[in-house]
Amino acid sequence: MFHIAICDDEEIFADKIFKNIDVYMSQRELPYEIDIFHSGKGLMQLGVEMMKYKVVFLDINMEEVDGLETAGWIRQYSKDMFIVFVTAYITYALEGYKFNAVRFILKETKMFSQAIRECMDDIFEKINYVSAKREIPFCEGRREIRLDRLLFIESKLHKLEFHVMEEQMHVYTLNGILNDIEDEYIPYQFIRIHQSYLVNMQHINQIRRYEVMLSNGVRLPVPRARYPYVEDKFISYKGEM
C-alpha cells in the first residue's frame, strides 16, 4: 500500500491536491491511501505511526504549527520520506530545502495539476533506490524490509526479534545472535547499546542515564559501563545530521 499524507489548513487546496493525486495513482493502478490533515499538529500527533507515509504534501503557511516546523519534526523520524511543499510564497524555498524537500509547488498557478504529476513522476523514479533494503529469511517467511524502518533488534537467547515499523509495528524473528550480524548493520547507523540490543540511531529520540528513548516511546537500558560510548556515538551522529 502506497500511503500519502496531505497537510493543509485550507480545505479547498487540500481537496485540490487530493483529487490530482487520486487521478495520478489510479492511472498507475497501484494500491494507495491518501489521508488529509488540516494542521501540522494533527500530523505530529501520529508519532512514529507517521512513518507509514511515503510522501507528504505540506502547506508551509499554517496556523499554530507551520509546514517548516512540521518538516523538521518529520526529519527526526525519517530522512527518506518525500516532502513536497505546497505554498503561495516561493520565498520560503531556500529555508524549505534545509529539510531536503523533493519539490516546491506554487498554489496559484495554472500549471498546478501538471506540477503534481511531474512531482509524482520524480518521486517514483527516486523511490527505486532511495532506501537501503535487506531481504531476510525470517521464521515467519522471507521478507524485504527497509532499514530506515527497523527500530531495533533484540536478542533473546538464540533468537533475534526485529522491531519494524510498517503500516504498524511488527516483530519478526530470526534464529541467531547479535554478535553474528552486528557488523552488517553498523554502516547503516546502528549501535550496540547493550548485549541484547542493536538500535537504529535514527530512531533514538533521547539518551539519558542509563537508557535510550526511541521514537515509538520504547525505553531500552544502557549499561553504566557502556553509557559513555553510546552517548558519544549518538552526539556524533546528531552532529552529522
Per-residue pLDDT tens digits for 15-62: 999 999 999 998 877 778 999 999 888 888 888 888 888 899 999 888
Question: Using 50, 70 and 90 to split pLDDT, how confident is the model at 131?
Answer: low
Q: Say what the pLDDT of residue 128 is.
A: 61
User: Binning pLDDT at 50, 70 and 90, where does residue 129 land?
Assistant: very low
Could you give the domains of the chain? 2-126 (3.40.50.2300), 133-240 (2.40.50.1020)
Amino acid of residue 160: L
- Mean pLDDT score, 123-141: 80
**Would you state the pLDDT for residue 2?**
83
Mean pLDDT computed over 53-82: 86
Single out the residue of 134, 31, 43 nearest to residue 83, CA to CA. Answer: 43
Mean pLDDT of 162-173: 90
For the ranges 14-23, 76-85, 171-180, 217-226, the lowest mean pLDDT is seen at: 76-85
pLDDT tens digits, one per residue of 198-229: 999 988 988 988 999 998 889 999 999 999 99
Count CB neighbours of 23 within 10 A.
12
Task: Give pTM, 2 decimals.
Answer: 0.60
Predicted pLDDT of residue 222: 96
Between residues 167 and 182, the one the model is more confident about: 182
* DSSP calls for the chain: -EEEEEE-S-HHHHHHHHHHHHHHHHHHT--EEEEEESSHHHHHTTGGGGGGEEEEEEES--SSS-HHHHHHHHHHH-SSSEEEEEES-GGGHHHHGGGT-SEEEESS-TTHHHHHHHHHHHHHHHTTTSS-EEEEEETTEEEEEEGGGEEEEEEETTEEEEEEESSSEEEEEEES-HHHHHHHHGGGTEEEEETTEEEEGGGEEEEETTEEEETTS-EEE--TTTHHHHHHHHHHHHHH-
Between residues 31 and 160, the one the model is more confident about: 160
Q: Which residue has the higher pLDDT, 74 or 108?
A: 74
Q: Quick one: average pLDDT of 151-174?
A: 92
- What whole-number percentage of the chain has pLDDT above 70? 94
| pLDDT at residue 87 in the model | 82
pLDDT value at residue 240: 53
